[in-house]
Structure 1
Amino acid sequence: MNDSVKLGSKRTRATIAALAAVTACAATAFPASASVIATPVNYSAEDAALQLSAVGSYDTGIFDESAAEIVQFVPQSQRILTVNANAGVVEVLDASDPANPVKEFDISAAGTAAADGSVIPEGAVANSVAVRADGLGVVAVEAPDKTDRGWLLYVDANAAKPTILGAVRVGSLPDMVTITPNGATALVANEGEPAEDYSMDPEGSVAVVTLPKALTAKNQGFKGAISQAQVKIADFHAFENNLPDGVRIFGGREDATGVIPEFPVSENLEPEYITVTENGSKAYISVQEANAVAVLNVNSGVITDLLPLGTVDRMDIALDASDKDKSINVTTWPVEGFRMPDAIGSYKVSGKDYFVTANEGDSREWDGYSEVARVKDLGKDGLAPICDSVAAEVGLTVKQLREDAKLGRLNITTANGLNADGSCYEKLYTYGGRGFSIFDPNGNLVFESGTEFEEIIAEANPEYFNSNHTEASFDSRSDDKGPEPEGLAIGEIDGRTYAFTGLERVGGVMVYDITTPTDAKFVTYVNNRDFSVNAEELIDEGSDEAATVKAAGDLGPEGLDFVSATDSPTGQPLLVVGNEVSGSTSVFEITVN
């Protein structure tokens, strides 16, 4: 392996130069218990105010089957609720000792009678969970056929045994649920993905659900208190003929099957994740594939705006675009990245709300329609070629640009970038921003991390730069979304606000001080992963799955939850992380330096 490093962005070269006091692959020693690694990757700014240390973990022992995804800490009962999509349940963990989370029981929705008369069947899948301050928990439950309508399950998260309180029907593929700060309303992102063959493509929507006012012994069971009438569906019909410029609408049933639906825009928009402003009046919803954020008026239950998120111009902000160049080559290319956030958070500064996006990127790639191609595929198999002007931007010919060691391996979309007559691609668009962004309430960009995640990882752990999650490798994800930021949590410590971003592929959590939205600063990066353990390879060779994932540490962080010092059982702030590939739920203690 050629381990030469080329670092491209001006802002990040200055940032990296300032990181004089760092510990890479440092021995922050904790006994190897469950998935806690003795020598995690630790890398910090010289003046880092915080450090994160993995202190405990609960393992399912299930590799690469989404056995630990979304996590929620419950302060009153000192529990962690972990969504195990593999088993279709929510696992309830006793976290009163964060160093030793212990499973208590599962919560399964199957067999629950809902307020609309339906019964949640076997095979229904828990996707997300949220808990109100009094212990009322709500679980987003997907139907066995994802194009059917799902449910919102009510549970008592403080009960000593599984206690299901009822359910209501929501939209198709309820992927995420959150509760407004006052506890009055649950909001459910109904993603509405199509069937593989596009025989069905449900509309995306947001369910606005009025919750019971209190969870008490007197009204447990909510007899007469749960009604389907408490569910209002906020749809996107107002945007059918009023779509803002920059919102991506493509690859619907018309493209896949020739069928023109009644509401093509509404079918195309797929809500992913929701954050609610501090006063609870407004919610921001990531609409990932559309590269947009929807704005919901919580009180009226109406989606009022769609905010396009724009692109990261890779002629200004560098990236490593090839997994075949045998080097870390973070440099500029004539390509733009749709931010396409997954998780989204919000916070208030000087009376003004800002929202934060983890710019994962995602593509439509179904049996009935796929937008995915590599740059070197353009000009083949019926795809239009690259316009000469694109390669000329970097002084190359199209043939040179399409080489594997240059831009040829990068995954791009065929749905955008054609010139006016459709004869060639005058712009190349790829998936994800490889970092995080901060926007003001109107969707104006105020901060972009740009190249920083890739360049920090290049410094912190160069041998496994842009590694995949299932196997420890060098540079294997550079051609496809890089570190792939996915999960996000925002928390306040000692009057400062921090963004914690989980990197799905290489792993770990990137921490930034976002107190000043226009000038967010890197604080620390920790990765509770042992790169000497190649999990996928060992399992392919017949090694014990549970022992392998335990040795490998955390793989594929998905959901993050910040726990304040006030709510923490130790009196120290915590970060809980669900890891979908290793199937582990890990607890990090946050120490103020």
Structure 2
Amino acid sequence: MNYLRKGLCTLIFAAFLGCNDEQPQDSPVNLAVNFQHRTTLKVGGEGAAEITAYDTRSKKLFIVNVEKKEISVYDISDLNAPKQKNSIPIGNGAPNSVSCANGKLAVAIENTVKQNNGKVHIYDAATQNLEQSYTVGALPDMLSFSKDGKLLLCANEGEPNKDYTQDPEGSVSIINTASKTVKTLDFKSFNSQLSSLQSKGLRVFGPNATLAQDVEPEYIAIADNGKTAWVSLQENNAIARVNLTSQTIEALYPLGFKDYSLEKNYIDPSDKDGKKELRKVPVFGMYQPDAICTVTIKGTQYLISANEGDSREYEGTPGYVGETRVKKLRLDPTAFPSSEDWQNEAKLGRLKIAKDLGDTDNDGDYDALYSYGARSFSVWSENGNLLYDSGNSIAKELMARSADRFNDNDKRSDDKGAEPESVAVLNIKDQRYLLFVGLERTDQVLVYDLTTPTNPKFLDILSHSGDEAPEGILTLTADESPSGKELVIIANEDSGTVSIFENIASN
């Protein structure tokens, strides 16, 4: 099958994994899937489509449009003829995220001065009238309603200014939609645990920054029961756990490192070797998840992360640039013998690594190398224990099926590979679970069967066309969908489009 031709992808397979013994014999459930591309919304240019939210009552799709500093709106009640509606302009600041629940639309808005507190606006989704506004922390980057809509959580990234002379604290805001109150949680209580957390893989490395300043909350996943939330701290290589009953951040889980010298993890570390091949290298990867999501399967809670990776580059004065290439480093001669020629560009010299890690004996040379991201997705327990990592299987699937897309045709091998950016789970009748993984640099969404979370099975690739850079993925169950069939809605940052795929095999 040509995965790129005609902008559609077909997934056809029968129900399996022992589902029949979990469903009533007199009420069979169709668990087959056959996703096909239905339509693409051309919202605008680059940055016109980043994150989406869908209101089941008005059947409107709300799209973060950074290009125009608005929320673009489409009526998708008829997928054959989506209708663009009046947008929601954002006056001061810029929108970063949207979420819908119970007929309400929430929008996260950064301040015109990013280091100052931001806002969350709540609108009536049908009328698009502003109903409430809340002050949250600096740079509200992602927000999400709890399943029942009673709580709205906002991850406030708190990025420094370009000179790195102002570094606000990262935080998490909890908005109670009934009482119309907001509580913003900081990370100060963890400052005293810095050494212990760093020994487990937490990174705190900003100039003169405390842990509370250095953490940058990126993404939020909320348990179905609304009692717990998890927050990815991408640059810090960790996940935070939030107790929503006590409204406290109760734990930080450093994620540790991935060993690229193990065969299951081999990578292509160079864009200058003239080859697309996976090989053993003496390097560790930081997981550094961007998007995370959570799912409960057979009573057990799981977290899934897209291990994109991210560096800090602030080129003001004094600024801070955290990455460099291996060829520019002073390597420890014992750990990296000169006879191995590791700094050759065709070997390891082109790989970008973190400057703050690796000089384990503080003698000025690097005893170990740590690169950005893990080029994978992972499944974690609710307490931050690694249950599964996809290793280098993403790279292998791309080489086998669309070699020209491998690490963006090898151009990103020296950086973070395909850059898994987004993850979303589709629950089919509480019996089958599909995982969608968006690859920013290869313009694709990979599909896995997640029904056994510790052993996901690759199924297929959703590709539409062109240079898209999928940023956000939204899944709708058949009950939520305007067509009565499961949908996958993909917001593409580079192309400014939204692609909609439908499961035509759905009941």
User: Normalising by the residue count of structure 1, what TM-score does the alignment of the two structures yield?
Assistant: 0.78
**Is 1:193 equivalent to 2:129 in the alignment?**
no
Counterpart Cα distance in 2 of 1:169 and 1:449: 39
Tell whether the 8 Å contact from 2:202 to 2:255 is kept in structure 1 after alignment: no
Give the structure 2 partner of residue 167 of structure 1.
133
Shift of 1:309: 1.1
- Residues 366 and 280 (structure 1 numbering): CA distance in 2 closer, same or farther, change over 3 Å? same
Shift of 1:100: 3.5
**Structure 2 unaligned regions, length at least 5:** 17-31
Counterpart Cα distance in 1 of 2:239 and 2:12: 32
Give the structure 1 partner of residue 113 of structure 2.
145
For 1:566, give the aligned amino acid: D
Shift of 1:57: 1.2
Give the structure 1 partner of residue 68 of structure 2.
87
- Residues 200 and 44 (structure 1 numbering): CA distance in 2 closer, same or farther, change over 3 Å? farther
For 2:62, give the aligned amino acid: L
For 2:3, give the aligned amino acid: C
Shift of 1:365: 1.1
Shift of 1:39: 4.5
Question: Which digits, 9 at most, give the CA deviation of each residue in 1:37-69, with x for residues without a partner?
Answer: x2557799999954432211111331x3x1110
Counterpart Cα distance in 1 of 2:383 and 2:97: 28
For 1:144, give the aligned amino acid: T
- Residues 128 and 194 (structure 1 numbering): CA distance in 2 closer, same or farther, change over 3 Å? same
- Residues 517 and 148 (structure 1 numbering): CA distance in 2 closer, same or farther, change over 3 Å? same
For 2:389, give the aligned amino acid: E
Give the structure 1 partner of residue 52 of structure 2.
71
Partner of 2:398, secondary structure, is helix
**Is 1:105 equivalent to 2:86 in the alignment?**
yes
Structure 1 stretch displaced more, 328-337 or 39-48: 39-48
For 2:439, give the aligned amino acid: L
**Is 1:184 equivalent to 2:150 in the alignment?**
yes
Partner of 1:293, secondary structure, is strand
Question: Which digits, 9 at most, give the CA deviation of each residue in 1:535-567, with x for residues without a partner?
Answer: xxxxxxxxxxxxxxxxx3x61100110011111
**Is 1:488 equivalent to 2:429 in the alignment?**
no
User: Number of residue pairs matched?
Assistant: 482
Counterpart Cα distance in 2 of 1:331 and 1:591: 40
Tell whether the 8 Å contact from 2:325 to 2:350 is kept in structure 1 after alignment: yes
> RCO greater where, 1 or 2, for CA within 8 Å and sep 6 or more?
1
Counterpart Cα distance in 2 of 1:188 and 1:275: 10
Give the structure 2 partner of residue 575 of structure 1.
488
For 1:361, give the aligned amino acid: G
Counterpart Cα distance in 2 of 1:491 and 1:432: 25
The equivalent position to 2:268 in structure 1, one of 310, 317, 320, is 320
What are the residue-to-residue correspondences of 1:51-62 with 2, within 5 Å? 51-62=34-45
Shift of 1:446: 0.6
Shift of 1:570: 1.7
CA RMSD of aligned residues (A): 2.0
What are the residue-to-residue correspondences of 1:123-134 with 2, within 5 Å? 124-132=93-101, 134=102
Between Structure 1 and Structure 2, which shows a larger proportion of strand residues? 2
Shift of 1:73: 1.7
Question: Which digits, 9 at most, give the CA deviation of each residue in 1:389-409, with x for residues without a partner?
Answer: 4435xxx735x2111111111
Tell whether the 8 Å contact from 1:364 to 1:370 is kept in structure 2 after alignment: yes
Tell whether the 8 Å contact from 2:11 to 2:33 is kept in structure 1 after alignment: no
Tell whether the 8 Å contact from 1:73 to 1:576 is kept in structure 2 after alignment: no
Shift of 1:125: 0.5
For 2:427, give the aligned amino acid: E
Give the structure 2 partner of residue 528 of structure 1.
464
Counterpart Cα distance in 2 of 1:591 and 1:437: 29
Tell whether the 8 Å contact from 1:51 to 1:524 is kept in structure 2 after alignment: no
Give the structure 1 partner of residue 279 of structure 2.
331
Counterpart Cα distance in 2 of 1:41 and 1:349: 27
Question: Which digits, 9 at most, give the CA deviation of each residue in 1:189-232, with x for residues without a partner?
Answer: 000000010121000000011113xxxxxxxxxxxx74xxx111
Counterpart Cα distance in 1 of 2:34 and 2:339: 47
Partner of 1:391, secondary structure, is coil
Tell whether the 8 Å contact from 1:192 to 1:205 is kept in structure 2 after alignment: yes
Shift of 1:84: 0.5
Shift of 1:528: 1.0
Counterpart Cα distance in 2 of 1:293 and 1:167: 28
Shift of 1:106: 1.1
Tell whether the 8 Å contact from 1:73 to 1:79 is kept in structure 2 after alignment: yes
**Is 1:566 equivalent to 2:466 in the alignment?**
no
- Residues 479 and 50 (structure 1 numbering): CA distance in 2 closer, same or farther, change over 3 Å? farther
Give the structure 2 partner of residue 386 of structure 1.
331
Q: Percent identity?
A: 36
- Residues 387 and 51 (structure 1 numbering): CA distance in 2 closer, same or farther, change over 3 Å? farther
Give the structure 1 partner of residue 27 of structure 2.
none
Give the structure 2 partner of residue 119 of structure 1.
none
What are the residue-to-residue correspondences of 1:384-423 with 2, within 5 Å? 385-391=330-336, 397=339, 400-423=341-364
For 1:142, give the aligned amino acid: E
Counterpart Cα distance in 2 of 1:208 and 1:187: 5
Tell whether the 8 Å contact from 1:340 to 1:361 is kept in structure 2 after alignment: yes
Give the structure 1 partner of residue 3 of structure 2.
25
Question: Which digits, 9 at most, give the CA deviation of each residue in 1:395-451, with x for residues without a partner?
Answer: x735x2111111111111111011313331111100111110001111111110010
**Is 1:377 equivalent to 2:345 in the alignment?**
no
Tell whether the 8 Å contact from 2:311 to 2:322 is kept in structure 1 after alignment: yes
Structure 1 stretch displaced more, 494-503 or 409-418: 494-503
Partner of 1:105, secondary structure, is strand
**Structure 1 unaligned regions, length at least 5:** 1-22, 28-37, 111-121, 213-224, 255-260, 379-384, 468-473, 530-551
Tell whether the 8 Å contact from 1:565 to 1:573 is kept in structure 2 after alignment: yes
**Is 1:461 equivalent to 2:406 in the alignment?**
no
Partner of 2:320, secondary structure, is coil
Give the structure 2 partner of residue 238 of structure 1.
189
Give the structure 1 partner of residue 28 of structure 2.
none
The equivalent position to 2:413 in structure 1, one of 456, 475, 478, is 478
**Is 1:157 equivalent to 2:125 in the alignment?**
yes
Partner of 1:283, secondary structure, is strand
Counterpart Cα distance in 2 of 1:498 and 1:350: 15
Give the structure 1 partner of residue 445 of structure 2.
509
For 1:235, give the aligned amino acid: D
Tell whether the 8 Å contact from 2:427 to 2:477 is kept in structure 1 after alignment: yes
Partner of 1:433, secondary structure, is coil
Tell whether the 8 Å contact from 2:3 to 2:462 is kept in structure 1 after alignment: no
Partner of 2:240, secondary structure, is strand
Shift of 1:96: 1.1
Give the structure 2 partner of residue 16 of structure 1.
none
Counterpart Cα distance in 1 of 2:448 and 2:241: 25
Structure 1 stretch displaced more, 486-495 or 453-462: 486-495
What are the residue-to-residue correspondences of 1:244-393 with 2, within 5 Å? 244=197, 245-254=199-208, 264-316=210-262, 317-367=265-315, 368-378=319-329, 385-391=330-336
Give the structure 2 partner of residue 207 of structure 1.
173
Structure 1 stretch displaced more, 73-82 or 294-303: 73-82
